[in-house]
Structure 1
Amino acid sequence: MSLSNPSPALHNEDLAPATERKWGAFSIFNVWTSDVHSLWGYYLAASLFLLCGSFLNFIIAIGLGSLVIFFLMSLVGNAGVKTGVPFPVLARASFGTFGANVPALVRAVVACFWYGAQTAAASGAIVALLIRNDAMLNFHQNSHMLGHSTLEVICYVIIWSLQLMIIQRGMETVRRFQDWAGPAVWIMMLFLAIYLVIKAGTFSFGSEIPRDVLLEKTKDAGVPGEPGSVAALAAVAATWITYFAALYLNFCDFSRYAKDVKTLRKGNLWGLPINLLAFCLVAGITTTAAYTVYGEVLLHPDGISAKFDNWFLALLAALTFAVATLGINVVANFVSPAFDFSNAFPRQISFKRGGYIAALIALLLYPFAPWETGAAHFVNFIGSTMGPIFGVMMVDYYLIRKGVLDVNALYQENGEFRFQGGWHANAFIAFAAGVLFSSILPTFTSILPAWWGTYGWFFGVAIGGGVYFMLRMGARAKPAFAT
């Protein structure tokens, strides 16, 4: 759509509603293959698979969780198709024209941190391959810089640069990369699974893994309870749903390029419940087969590839894991901060410049490697605030506005979404209430039961969205720009 006199403080070419909508169902499908097929995604999928205890439990917990993910992504995705705007612009409808910078920058901070973490994971897979060579191993052990081995630094910079080359050419290049990388990763994953199952000589679902070993290896997945119990299955589903918390916010950054809602629905259907179930199944089968072959629970795929006797297979595996991690970084941790930083300073920062800023931050973080320390807990704490943000935005769009939004007003400083000087007090009150119960109380106090944290994101969505709805209903008689 064409905008009428948009404010320069709220608009640039990248933030404007999408005009070229070339993304078909296959490209949307590959958003999800790129998002979940990472080293951490594999670890979580394999862990949750094993904690289900049986194939039927796996279908129930992961299947139901994946259907919920499909529903939630459809909510924000449909809004992106209808309005054509990215996440930080859509957030202006509920948080205000300038208040929207707060949820946008929260999302950007988390993305920059994990951008560095995922880049380090991808480069680590390459390092694991190279040190199979004695000369490289000697170089790795004896040459150091910036707190890492020189080999690690070189590989990190190479992976970092490759990602920058993809993103600097814009969203169409992102789409083409995904359309190639998604199928390639799936082919390699299936190959690895079949190879290990044949080598193991059996097809199993992890029942032979001793319970104490299983619980020790999967403790970082955050699933309490006895494997296979009702409590564990509920936690498995909740953990799987929460894993996508960041994308619930900024999936409209991608869906805005979809041809129509029907195309989006088809891509989401194949990319979410169907793809997620298949991915978890393959990850679980590969892990259990690797246990039979190597006698270890290897939940990280680069650990499996390091065991391969065949150098060529190890090369294929390392490249696959690197490409998979590049995919999730571009989707989850690069595109979003690029738009988020651009939204904060649209006159100075374009989409490309926003991406460069995100990449630079990740590069500057590398010497400190905060993802290897307790800082990860801090970022997870910040990330849990995404629940209330999602709740506020979806309640505003679907329950308050009934899916009808004046897109042109999103780019006007003195229009409908000015609220109180560009900030919407009701949204921030609701946001604070949600954060209190999703993040602050479960993290810093023992007031709430121990299991609360597993479902913190859900409480954040419900409380943040509920408080916002009540506040808006209470002010219903007032003009929209004054509430």
Structure 2
Amino acid sequence: MAVTETIARSGPVRDGLIEESILPTQLNQRPISMLGYAWMFVGIAVIIAGYSLGAAGVGGGVPLGTVMLTIFAANLLIGAIMVLSADIGTEHGLSFAVYLRAPFGLHGTHLPAMTRGIVAAAWFGVQTYLGALALNGIGQYFLGFDNWAVWYVAFALLQVINTATGIKSVERLAALAAPAIIAISIWMYFKLEGIAQTEGINIWNFDATGEMTLVVLFIANLGFWSTLAIDIPNLTRFVRTEPGARSFFRRNRGIMLGQLVALPVTQALIAGLGAVSFIATGNWNPVEVIQGEGQGLSLIVLLVLVVLAQWSTNNSANLIPSALTFVNLAPRVINYKMAVALAGIAGTLCFPWALLDNLFVFLSYCGAFLSGIGGIMIADYYVLRRRRLNVPDLYRADGQFRYVAGFNPAGLIAWIVAGTIAALVSDYSFVIGFPMGFALYLVLMRGWVMARFAQAECTAGAGDEFLATTAGRSWVHLGQGRFDRLTPAETAGRKGREDL
């Protein structure tokens, strides 16, 4: 079926599949620059839990330099996977949850999407709690006021308002926070190295007794960002993209610096700080170490780092993904700003102060199930559909993505099987769940589902009519459930929707 036929048949919207914030972004609605996107990834990579990765390595007997190189390599690989999934955003302007309507069905999307959404909300709560503790420390120093719960509410509200204001506000915060984070992290390194020297320890020659292998360390770091790797289209749909770029590199060059340089370099440095802290004091958390010894200006600088790090990560990596899954769940009643607030509330209801005690157990099992989603997405987008997508039918209740009452059995079975097996061996979850989800989905789709439910873009003759950016066009909602692909010049005269 041609896209024009799909558009012509579309009637009034009564199915609750459309809301402004989850419509495809047009080429002239993508304000984030290459540098702005890279700054966002600097902020995303600086989280307190990241310090523990390096400490686990040196504590397991791996030299500091080898730990940092291993973590860099792992994050370079996960960054490359992000680049692959990112094309869903740069090519079609789609959010993660809406794209999942293709491999999982119009209703089936809610199961995997909400799994990721709840994890993101929980992370928001954890990081807001850590930021609130830092703000409480500043409040104690300047005001003599000690109540972290008050700071939690204030900090959560500030982040929710900032994220709800729009993607451009998120980029501005990242551009402000990232250079400050880098400068403070460098200061932290020299502070920690000084502590080690006073103890007569050479951090680069430190040799702990342990049995951790490089393979285990590598895989652990793959799983750390596997959640962001699958829903990265939520961000890349707002990165400036060259219309008509048929080359994969040209089309995605705006994201390369962020995902292939900023993420692995920053993550390696942050893990290195955790390793140095462990070597010098036996405590993997350098914030606690320096806070215990710091006073005056140095203490305030440290606490400012904590606040900026949690804030810059929460906006782009947690609040936006979680909010968009809430919108996708009930587009008729939930808009973007309301969804951001709901994500903040959900993150708080996860009781992050208690979740911290079992954070890595929680993350390992969630990562196991989310890794399978990544494999399914890559199989669906690149192998099955060859980057072509019948986008109008993603928003039609009676279109090709309805499958069986709104559920695609191939996607759901592949996800449940791959996720369950990966969870049983959670230490290796990503390298098991991802390829298993990939393979099972292709077998089930080609051998079963596609024989019953034709996919227009998968036919031999499907061409540019199912591409957007590559063809120099954007998917545009014309109202009443109707879509067309328009050039930037054709959309220039139309009233564009506001940014997120």
Alpha-carbon separation, structure 2, partners of 1:181 and 1:238 = 29
2:267 aligned with 1:283: no
2:217 equivalent to 1:208 = no
Does structure 2 retain, via aligned residues, the 8 Å contact 1:335–1:355?
A: yes
What is the CA-CA distance between 1:406 and the residue it aligns to? Answer: 1.4
Alignment-derived partner of residue 101 in structure 1: 110
How large is the Cα RMSD of the aligned pairs? 3.0
Normalising by structure 2, what TM-score?
Answer: 0.80
C-alpha separation between the residues in 2 aligned to 1:279 and 1:110? 23
Paired position in structure 2 for 1:27: 36
Q: Which residue of structure 2 lines up, in the alignment, with residue 362 of structure 1? A: 347
Question: Matched residues in 2 for 1:289 and 1:385: separation?
Answer: 32
Q: Which residue of 2 aligns with 1:218?
A: none
Deviations 1:14-39 (A, max 9, x none): 01001201111112212321221011
For residues 176-195 of structure 1, what are the structure 2 equivalents within 5 Å?
A: 176-195=172-191
- Partners of 1:24 and 1:263 within 8 A in 2: no
Indicate if the aligned counterparts of 2:239 and 2:254 stay in contact, CA closer than 8 A: no
Alpha-carbon contact 1:54-1:205 (below 8 Å) kept? no
- Distance across 1 between alignment mates of 2:140 and 2:282: 22
Alignment partners' CA distance in 2, 1:253 and 1:194: 37
Contact residue 113 and residue 325 of structure 2 kept, 8 A:
yes
Name the CA shift for 1:471/1:174 in 2 (closer, same or farther; >3 Å): same
User: 1:463 maps to what in 2?
Assistant: 436
Instruction: Give 1:385's match in structure 2, choosing from 365, 369, 374.
Output: 369
Find 1:255's aligned residue among 216, 232, 236: 236
AA matched with 2:262? N
Preserved contact between residue 197 and residue 286 of structure 1 (Cα < 8 Å): no
Equivalent residue for 2:221, pick from 237, 240, 248: 240
Following superposition, the deviation at residue 156 of structure 1 comes to: 1.1
TM-score by length of 1: 0.82
Structure 1 Cα separation of the partners of residues 117 and 134 of structure 2: 26
Do 1:112 and 1:334's aligned partners in 2 also have CA atoms closer than 8 Å? yes
Which residue, out of 454, 469, 472, partners 1:480?
A: 454
| Alpha-carbon contact 2:122-2:348 (below 8 Å) kept | no
Map of 1:52-201 to 2, 5 A cutoff? 53-54=62-63, 57-58=66-67, 60-131=69-140, 136=144, 140=146, 151-197=147-193
- 1:42 maps onto 2:51 in alignment: yes
2: CA distance between counterparts of 1:286 and 1:380?
23
Distance change (3 Å), C-alpha of 1:204 and 1:275: farther
- 2:132 alignment partner, SS class: helix
- The aligned amino acid for 1:242 is G
Would you say the 8 A contact 2:110–2:329 is kept in 1? yes
Deviations 1:274-324 (A, max 9, x none): 3344335533554565567xx512321321331344410110110111110
Distance of aligned partners of 1:284 and 1:411 in 2 relative to their CA distance in 1, 3 Å threshold: closer
Structure 2 unmatched ranges of 5 or more: 242-247, 459-500
Specify which of 314, 328, 335 is matched with residue 320 of structure 2: 335
Instruction: Rate the CA distance shift 1:235–1:379 in 2: closer, same or farther, 3 A.
Output: closer
Evaluate the alpha carbon distance shift between residue 114 and residue 245 of structure 1 in structure 2; reply closer, same or farther with a 3 A threshold. same
Say if 2:124 and 2:319, in contact at 8 Å, map to a contact too. Answer: yes
TM-fit CA distance, 1:384: 2.3
Q: How many residue pairs get matched?
A: 439
C-alpha distance 47-272 of structure 1, shift in aligned 2 (>3 A): farther
Instruction: Write the letter of the residue equivalent to 1:304.
Output: V
- In 1, the alpha carbon distance for the partners of 2:50 and 2:366 equals 20
Report if the CA contact (8 A) 1:129-1:306 is conserved: no
1:419 aligns with 2:403: yes
Residue by residue over 1:120-173, the C-alpha shift from the partner in whole angstroms, topping out at 9 and shown as x without a partner, is: 11112233455568x94xx75xxxxxxxxxx12122112112211211202221
Q: 2:258 aligns with which of 271, 278, 293?
A: 271
What letter is aligned with 2:172?
A: R
Report sequence identity in percent: 22
Q: Are 2:353 and 1:353 equivalent residues in the alignment?
A: no
* Whole-angstrom CA distance in 2 between matches of 1:49 and 1:406: 49
Contact 2:96 2:230 in 1 (8 A): yes
2:258 aligned partner, one-letter code = G
Q: Which residue of 2 aligns with 1:11?
A: 18
Alignment CA distance shift 1:183-1:45 (3 Å): farther
Gaps of 5+ in 1: 141-150, 216-225, 443-451
Paired letter, 1:414:
D
Partner of 1:193, secondary structure, is helix
Task: Give, in whole Å, the separation in 2 of the partners of 1:309 and 1:373.
Answer: 25
Question: Residue type matched to 1:338 in 2?
Answer: A
Q: Is the 8 A contact 1:95 1:428 kept in 2?
A: yes
